[in-house]
Amino acid sequence: MELEEYRKENRAWMDKSMDIALRILDILEEKGMSQNDLAIAVEVSRQQISEILKGHENLTLKTIS
């Protein structure tokens, strides 16, 4: 129930996060990079990249940076 309430309150931000995730996927494909390559480049776990790209994470400015 809490997750549903959170999603309702943050729908616009989640939509923006999904737009960013789709753009990242496009760029990875253009550059021939994997999610693991990106994780190494930005010094985060592959799991965090996966969550971002699935749209399961509401991106913060820190994450985007």
Taking only the tens place, the pLDDT of each residue in 3-42 is 788 777 778 877 888 888 899 999 999 999 999 999 999 8
pLDDT computed for residue 62 by the predictor: 76
* CATH number for 22: 1.10.260
pTM of this structure: 0.70
Q: What's the chain's Rg over C-alpha atoms?
A: 13
* Alpha helix positions (H), 10-45: 11-31, 35-42
CA distance 9 to 39: 29
Structural domain span for residue 41: 2-64
Q: How many domains does the chain have?
A: 1
Determine contact, residues 49/38, Cβ cutoff 8 Å.
yes
